Amino acid sequence: MLEQPVLRTQSEKPFIEIEGVKHYECVRTVKLCKLLMDSEGERVKIPFLMDELGTQSNNTFSQYVYRLREIVEPRGWRVLLKSFPSRTLQLIRNPVTETI
């Protein structure tokens, strides 16, 4: 069973904890994870996320998304980018598949 990621932003080194393993990241990557988790699986518009993170650069925002994906995707979560009708991100649990 997949555990909900645990976030710590008030400590000296912010981190995302999944399955008991702490992944230390920059404050904005942890905040991005929190914003997506708070949406409870719903799509969140990218301009809103960029405003909340205090960045206007698409390249910088892409780096936060890339770093978040590196942490959560190997552990059963997906960060989905939808481009139509508006640019959105979504954090969902990856469906569990059995291999024979």
DSSP letter assigned to residue 3: P
Question: pTM above the 0.85 mark?
Answer: no
Q: State the amino acid at position 33 in one-letter form.
A: C
The per-residue pLDDT for range 2-47, each reduced to its tens digit, is 456 666 655 578 888 887 888 888 889 989 998 998 998 899 999 9
Q: Provide the pLDDT for residue 60.
A: 95
Model confidence at 100: pLDDT above 80: no
Antiparallel, parallel or unpaired: β 15-18 and 21-24: antiparallel
Hey, is 85 helix, strand or coil? coil
What is the model's pLDDT at position 51? 96
Domains and CATH numbers, the chain: 6-93 (1.10.10.10)
